[in-house]
Amino acid sequence: MPPFHYAFLVTDLDTTRAFYCELLGCREGRSTASWVDFEFFGHQLSAHLGRPAATDAYGEVDGKAVPMPHFGAILDWDAFQALAARLRARAVHFVLEPQVRFVGQPGEQATMFLLDPSGNALEFKAFRREQEIFAH
């Protein structure tokens, strides 16, 4: 699958760098005084200084409220577990704690939601069977 590019607004580049690089393990790319690129699990994120939209809307998935809008990455099962453990060890506040949903169904997946320092919602997930990413 080709990499995607996503540009979004943040309130501060230093805290954004710390979150994406030090906490999530992303690599920093090009930057200026008003934006910074990150290699985000094989994709390109561009964080630009500005006023992010509030994440105050929620959708329902499997009976759980999830923040909208959100973005994130699909990881393999072991990488998801390692990231969840790292985030827990750093006492990160989760909007939705790491958990498995759709148990025993097509598309069974581990998922977790958290906010970056600017309030942007992120979801990380891993599918029990990778070939079921688009299952219905």
Say which CATH number the domain at 84 has: 3.10.180.10
pLDDT at 62: 82
Residue ranges making up the domain that contains 34: 5-49
pLDDT at 40: 97
What total of structural domains would you count in the chain?
A: 2
Asked if residue 127 and residue 81 are part of one domain, the reply reads yes
**Residue 120 confidence (pLDDT) above 90:** yes
Alpha-carbon span 119 to 134, nearest angstrom? 28
Torsion 116-66-46-80 (CA) sign: positive
28-58 pLDDT, tens digit per residue, is 999 999 999 999 999 999 999 999 887 788 9
